[in-house]
């Protein structure tokens, strides 16, 4: 048994358990290529087509990605009650291994169903979802409703833009 090593269930530790050896610094201009995603709606009207048009990636609609499509999945739902009800069963499919082989669930993307703050019961549902998987929120964007997808992304969507590698 080695001493100085952390003991216990390493499966719950994010990242390496040991301290990495310092290596040469990477140049600031080196970036990993953007990861490609398949957007999968958990219900009709979730916003999959709009998100694929704005952020890139494959628009799977409500179907699983095919063999030639990106295998990294972003589940999409609206923030209304019926939309949020579809999220947990979809996430559970991945947890139980019932999603098609090779698919990797990266996160859930919740698209605002209306402008303004969410009612408390909906916010509580979202907090429960966030306790089991990464959640990215997309605010209400009036221009998108009119079909104008060319504008600047809202500040609240910057984390999703970083995840998808979109450059708007």
The CATH number assigned to the domain holding 74 equals 3.40.50
Determine, yes or no, domain membership for 51. yes
In angstroms, the CA 130 to CA 145 distance is: 27
How far apart are the C-alpha atoms of 133 and 158, rounded to whole Å?
Answer: 18
CA distance 91 to 107: 9
State how many domains the chain has.
1
> What is the C-alpha separation between 77 and 47, in angstroms, rounded?
7
pLDDT of residue 21: 56
Query: 97 lies in a domain?
Result: yes
On whether residue 16 sits in a domain, the answer given is no
In a domain, 121, yes or no: yes
Residue 141 located in a structural domain = yes
With beta carbons less than 8 A apart as the criterion, state whether 47 and 111 touch: yes
Cα(125)–Cα(132) distance, rounded to whole angstroms?
A: 12
pLDDT at 119: 97
- Has residue 55 been placed in a domain? yes
Report if residue 110 sits inside a domain: yes
Residue 4 pLDDT > 80, yes or no? no
pLDDT digits (tens, 9 = 90+) for 118-149: 999 999 999 999 999 999 999 999 999 899 99
Q: 145 is in which domain, residue-wise?
A: 35-163
Domain contains 61:
yes
């Amino acid at each position: 048994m080695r001493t100085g090593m952390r003991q216990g269930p390493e499966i719950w530790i994010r990242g390496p358990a040991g301290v990495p050896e310092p290596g040469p610094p990477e140049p600031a201009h080196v970036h990993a290529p953007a990861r490609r995603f398949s957007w999968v709606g958990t219900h009709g009207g979730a916003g999959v087509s709009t998100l694929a048009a704005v952020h890139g990636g494959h628009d799977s609609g409500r179907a699983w990605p095919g063999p030639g499509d990106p295998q990294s999945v972003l589940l999409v739902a609206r923030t209304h009650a019926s939309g949020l009800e579809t999220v947990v069963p979809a996430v559970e499919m991945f947890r139980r291994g019932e999603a098609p082989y090779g698919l990797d669930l990266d996160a859930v993307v919740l698209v605002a169903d209306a402008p303004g703050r969410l009612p408390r019961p909906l916010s509580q549902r979202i907090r429960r979802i966030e306790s089991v998987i990464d959640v990215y929120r997309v605010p209400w964007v009036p221009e998108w409703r009119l079909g104008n997808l060319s504008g600047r992304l809202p500040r609240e969507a910057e984390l999703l833009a970083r995840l998808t590698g979109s450059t708007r």
